[in-house]
Amino acid sequence: MAYGTLYLIPVPLADEAAAQSFTPYLVDTINSVKEYIVENEKTARRFLKLAGLKTPQSELLIHDYGKHNRDAGLKEFFKGLIAGNDVGLMSEAGCPGIADPGADIVAEAHRKGIKVVPLVGPSSILLALMASGFNGQSFTFNGYLPIDKIERSKRIKELEGLAEKNKQTQLFIETPFRNDSMLQEVLKTCKPNTRLCIACDITAPTEFIKTMPIAEWQKQVPDLRKRPAIFLLFHA
C-alpha cells in the first residue's frame, strides 16, 4: 500500500489574521484530511473551524505533539501515514518546521520515504525580512539568544559584526515577556549607525514594523512587553 502524504499547514500568526492566512488550496486540503499532528489541540481545532472545515470535528484524529508528548517517540504519529492516510501537520502559529518542533516530524517523514507537501502561508521570519528593507539575499535566522546578560551582549556583538562584515541580515527572537530587556541590550551594545528593524505583532491590527539606526531607536524606545516580535540587524 502506498504511503499517505504529509501536508504542512500554516496557521495564522494572530487571532485577527485568519482572512489573510488562508488560500483556496489550504481550505480544500483541510477538508480532505481527517488526521492531524499538532502542537496544541485546542488552537488547532479553532484554526480548522476558522479556515472553513466542513468535516465534523468529532471525526478527526488529532495527535498532540506538545512539549509533554515528544519523549514517547514518533512511531504513533506515523501509523496513519504508513497505512496510506493523508495527515496534516500544524504548528502553534505560522509555518510548520520553521522555528518549530514539527521539523522533527518532517525529517522522519523523509527518512520513511513519505511525500511532504508544504502549503503557502504566513512566516513571521520572512514577513519581517520583507518589510525590513535589509538584505534578503543573504540572511541568517539565529533563533533565541542566550539569557545570561554577558553572553547575550557578546552574541549581539557577534551578530552585529557578521552583519557588517558580510552585509548579511541577522534575525533573532525572544520570548515576549523578555522583549524589552532584549531591546535594551541591543540599544546598549550596538553601534549608533547599525540599523535595527523591529517587527512586532505581524498581521495583527496592532502590527508595528519599523527600521532605524540604533541612535534613532535610543530616542524613541517602543514598549514590546508580551508582544511577539522579531529583531533584525543590518549594517550597510
C-alpha span between 33 and 207 (Å, rounded): 32
Q: What is the CATH number of the domain that holds 23?
A: 3.40.1010.10
The stretches of 4-54 forming alpha helices (DSSP H) are 18-21, 24-30, 41-50
Whether residues 114 and 176 fall in one domain = no
Whether residues 47 and 102 fall in one domain = yes
Whether residues 82 and 14 fall in one domain = yes
pLDDT tens per residue across all 236 residues of the chain: 699 999 999 999 998 888 888 999 999 999 999 999 999 899 999 999 999 999 999 999 999 987 666 666 788 899 999 999 999 999 988 999 998 889 999 999 999 999 999 999 999 999 999 999 999 999 999 999 999 999 999 999 999 999 999 999 999 999 999 999 999 999 999 999 999 999 999 999 999 999 999 999 999 999 999 999 999 999 97
Q: What is the CATH number of the domain that holds 208?
A: 3.30.950.10
Give the end of a domain, one of 75, 93, 118.
118
Give the residue carrying C-alpha cell 498581521.
Answer: 203
Phi, psi of 127, deg, nearest 5: -65, -40
Whether residues 22 and 53 fall in one domain = yes
* pLDDT confidence of residue 163: 98
Note whether 204 and 21 are within 8 A (CB): no
Note whether 196 and 188 are within 8 A (CB): no
Range of the domain at 77: 5-118
Whether residues 179 and 86 fall in one domain = no
* pLDDT confidence of residue 236: 79
Q: What is the count of structural domains for the chain?
A: 2
CA-CA-CA-CA torsion sign (98, 119, 93, 6): negative
* pLDDT confidence of residue 155: 98
* pLDDT confidence of residue 1: 65
* pLDDT confidence of residue 71: 63
As a residue count, the chain comes to 236
* pLDDT confidence of residue 16: 84
Predicted model pTM: 0.91
Whether residues 227 and 130 fall in one domain = yes
Give the end of a domain, one of 91, 118, 145.
118
Kindly state the DSSP code that residue 31 receives in the 8-state scheme.
Answer: T
Could you write out the DSSP letters of every residue in 93-151? Answer: SB-TTSSSTTHHHHHHHHHTT-EEEEPP---HHHHHHHHHTS-SSSEEEEEEPPSSHHH
* pLDDT confidence of residue 69: 62
